[in-house]
Chains A and B, each alone.
Chain A
Amino acid sequence: MATNLRRFKRFGSVFINNSSPLRGLSSSSAVLGSVDGQVQQPGTGTGKSINLYTAINQALQIALDSDPRSYIFGEDVGFGGVFRCTTGLADQFGKHRVFNTPLCEQGIVGFGIGLAAMGNRAIAEIQFADYIFPAFDQIVNEAAKFRYRSGNEFNCGGLTIRTPYGAVGHGGHYHSQSPEAFFCHVPGLKVVIPRSPKEAKGLLLSSIREPNPVVFFEPKWLYRLAVEEVPEGDYMLPLSEAEVIREGSDITLVGWGAQLAIMEQACVDAEKEGISCELIDLRTLIPWDKETVEASVRKTGRLLISHEAPVTGGFGAEISASIVERCFLRLEAPVARVCGLDTPFPLVFEPFYMPNKNKILDAIKDTVNY
């Protein structure tokens, strides 16, 4: 276990050397986007190799450029943000469209709801997902219910809340959490998590142009680590569509965000032992693409879900229950969940907490040999 951090270090260098296993994870379903939200067929546009924060930056630049009624705001976004995602945007679009707010998450989201309710695209940044909780009431009781409670008299569909989530190697319990499951319990919200730069750009543009409020979690570990070719222009990836990123026949693996890179490694190792794994990126957690997961499990007869958040009450539990309901008789083994431990996110023992490749590989073998 102690080699975990070293492994990630190696993993990182692989990414940066541009021969990353994440290349295999890149999207094949990228489509060109347009301002009015129409999804178009992909062109043959070439892109540069860029990292994830640069891809986010490109998406935000396009969002501001394509709609004069779009705004970006949050703590420290004016100078480019602590993760550099808003670099250069205030200079390009003006300080009335890209601006700092006071340090107050409930204020940021409440402000964003009001701005969106006036027909604007309000792109709010919460600096870390760990700090989103002061805004929980505004997200759960206000943003999610704004349209419903008014009978569609009013809506805040233009609201997108971007926030970095997940492990980063040294973040401890207040810079590493994955709180996505809390928001998946709320009808009226969409929850989106990208796995790579190309995915991040296309999904973020879709989220910003989506007529419902979206919580968009960005895997902060991949901001600089993940590099892939990203089309330079404006394109969108569909929400609520999962993607099979590796086909296989013995077991289905479902994950999202940064965890997919770990799961991909486990799939590669399992293949060496003769186990064929199908890997699915859920991409949108609610409303999620049950059909794609169900079709895969009907084929493989086995399901493994993996996420960084603690196992109890995590979104893996929901996927597991839904799939058992839908294909109980096709299952050859109990659904496996390889997730974070039921503890606060640790600091020095982060490698023990994490659902790493070896834990996943063990679970794959156990499930296949059940």
Chain B
Amino acid sequence: MAIWLAGRKGADYFTKTLISTTFRSLRTSSTVIASFGDSDDSSTGNFRKPYSFFPCADSSPAAVFRSRRFESSQAGPQLDFFSSDDDDEQIQGSMDFPGGKIGFTSEMRFLPESSEKRVECYRVLDDNGYELSSPKQHMNKEVAMKMYSGMLTLDSLDTVLYEAQRQGRISFYVTSFGEEAINLASAAALSSDDLIMPQYREPGILWWRGFTLQEFVNQCFGNKNDYGKGRQMPIHYGSKKHNYFTVSSPLATQLPQAVGAAYSLKTEKKDACVVAFFGDGSSSEGDFHASLNFAAVLEAPVVFICRNNGWAISTPTTDQFRSDGIVVKGHGYGIRSIRVDGNDALAVYNVVRVAREMAVTEQRPILIEAMTYRVGHHSTSDDSTKYRPADEIEHWKTSRNPVSIFRKWVQRKGWWSDEQESEFRANIRKQVINAIQVAEKTEKPSLETCLLMCMKSYLQV
């Protein structure tokens, strides 16, 4: 699925809005920390247990083959919600199958297609920027202000470059409106050594790491200072210096690659993980399922972050999957997972920080589903009012705006004022416009560079 399909005449999805999704969870991060502290996995930094063909005195086939399996493939205890209270009475012996011991029952019971209750969504702030409970972790002013100024910068960059596309000055653009908190909060929670495998709606992380406005704009204009040398459509950023792999249009292809890169970090015992981003639509791709399975089996330190923004171009999540979103899929692959309010910057920050820590110290993958909403159109080739109601967009743009929610919190802290807001916005807009003027005047890359650089041997030019 390409990312830039032209706008379609959409079906009427008025009755399928995401507004009905309610975030009722009051779960705090301390619960999460406790749960990973209780983990019995002591294989930090180790590879799977060594095996040999005939490792022990017990040479029964089951014992031999059991020892050859990865730890992660061994059957664990049954989940509570899959079994009833009188389970013990129903168990009638057990048997060693490949993969471990499994109990028998005479009662025929199918697992339900989903649990009755949807997985809760971790949240720190309410829509008015008030903390739901006294915070367990404190964010310092410096980090908070950098996050907030990053959100404003991202908004300004998006607004001006979107207009530039409408004026025909660049060919294409994709905004991150509505997903600013996921961008900046995850950036803040990571180490700069952590490698980013982006989809395409995560430029905030690059900004956090020092990618300049001029560098963003150079890429969109495909001039000779674009690191991609004018070969990819706008917003396909990438920078080795910033540990940010170049964006690739095909969806979910970055996910199995993230596992390979994470495996390299693991073997070299680096204090870093790979963070792979994707959307709700990408979770239908085969590469998504391949990557979760590979990451679990190979015990790779990778954090998968799904931005579930409700829409894959015009396709709502109701046409995408029947599961309770993405978070439940982690369980099927043996991956620890959490759902977080993606419009709550503090919640995203807390979750990504803990997830990153677990991935590195325990050498395991973690799956995060950040619930959010794509406020902008899919891209400049799309008109989303053709397939979703304007008031739905408006609701998420105003009442649930991640920038506004965070702003209320930082202003209440006394770290930001209305005057600073207007001054910053005016200033950053000027900077973006200035970067565009510079980028427009910069020459295109040389023709021979564009034509020849697909093999190493041609790189001399």
Contacts and interface: CB of A to CB of B under 8 A. Distances in A.
A152 B256 CA distance: 21
B154 to A, nearest CB: 22
A212 B456 contact: yes
A149 B256 contact: no
A25 B51 CA distance: 42
B215 to A, nearest CB: 12
A115 B263 contact: yes
Contacts of B323: none
B112 to A, nearest CB: 27
B230 to A, nearest CB: 8
B325 interface: no
B227 A153 contact: yes
A5 interface: no
A117 B228 contact: no
B253 A138 contact: yes
A106 B238 contact: no
Interface stretch (B10-18, B284-292, B338-346, B377-385): B284-292
A64 to B, nearest CB: 13
Contacts of B201: none
Interface stretch (B121-129, B242-250, B427-435): B242-250
A104 interface: yes
Contacts of A152: 453, 459
Interface residues of B, number: 47
A212 B455 contact: yes
A115 B239 CA distance: 18
A292 B245 CA distance: 40
Listed residue (B261, B293, B454) with the most chain A CB atoms within 10 angstroms of its CB: B454
B259 interface: yes
Contact of A106 (B47, B231, B239, B290): B290
B396 interface: no
B226 interface: yes
A109 B287 CA distance: 10
A141 interface: yes
A285 interface: no
A122 B260 contact: yes
Interface in B219-271: 226-229, 231-232, 236, 238-240, 245-246, 248, 250, 253, 255-265, 267
Interface string B110-139: 000000000000000000000000000000
A155 B287 CA distance: 20
A110 interface: yes
A106 B286 contact: yes
A281 to B, nearest CB: 22
A115 B264 contact: yes
A74 interface: no
Contacts of A96: 47, 267
B257 A110 contact: yes
Nearest to B52: A91
Contacts of A248: none
A147 B260 contact: no
Contacts of A122: 260
Nearest to A240: B457
Listed residue (A106, A148, A150, A211) with the most chain B CB atoms within 10 angstroms of its CB: A150
A111 B257 contact: yes
A153 B232 contact: no
Contacts of B267: 71, 96-97
B439 interface: no
Given A101-B297, A110-B256, A153 B290 contact: no
A137 B1 CA distance: 11
Contact of A153 (B239, B261, B457): B239
B273 interface: no
A295 B308 CA distance: 59
A188 to B, nearest CB: 4
Interface string B402-425: 000000000000000000000000
A150 to B, nearest CB: 4
A174 B384 CA distance: 44
B298 interface: yes
Given A102-B293, A104-B290, A154 B257 contact: no
B132 to A, nearest CB: 38
A154 B261 CA distance: 12
Interface in A267-314: 287
A31 B453 CA distance: 28
A73 to B, nearest CB: 9
Contact of A95 (B50, B291, B293, B459): B50
Given A101-B298, A114-B260, A154-B240, A149 B231 contact: yes
Contacts of A106: 256, 286-287, 290
Given A114-B261, A153-B240, A287-B455, 16 more contacts: A104-B293, A106-B286, A107-B256, A107-B287, A110-B259, A110-B287, A110-B290, A111-B263, A111-B298, A112-B260, A113-B256, A118-B261, A138-B256, A142-B248, A150-B246, A152-B459
24 contacts: A99-B298, A102-B297, A104-B290, A104-B294, A106-B256, A106-B286, A107-B290, A109-B256, A110-B287, A111-B256, A111-B263, A114-B258, A114-B261, A115-B260, A115-B264, A122-B260, A142-B250, A144-B454, A149-B246, A152-B459, A153-B228, A154-B245, A187-B454, A212-B456
Interface of B: 47-48, 50-51, 197, 226-229, 231-232, 236, 238-240, 245-246, 248, 250, 253, 255-265, 267, 274, 286-287, 290-291, 293-294, 297-298, 453-457, 459
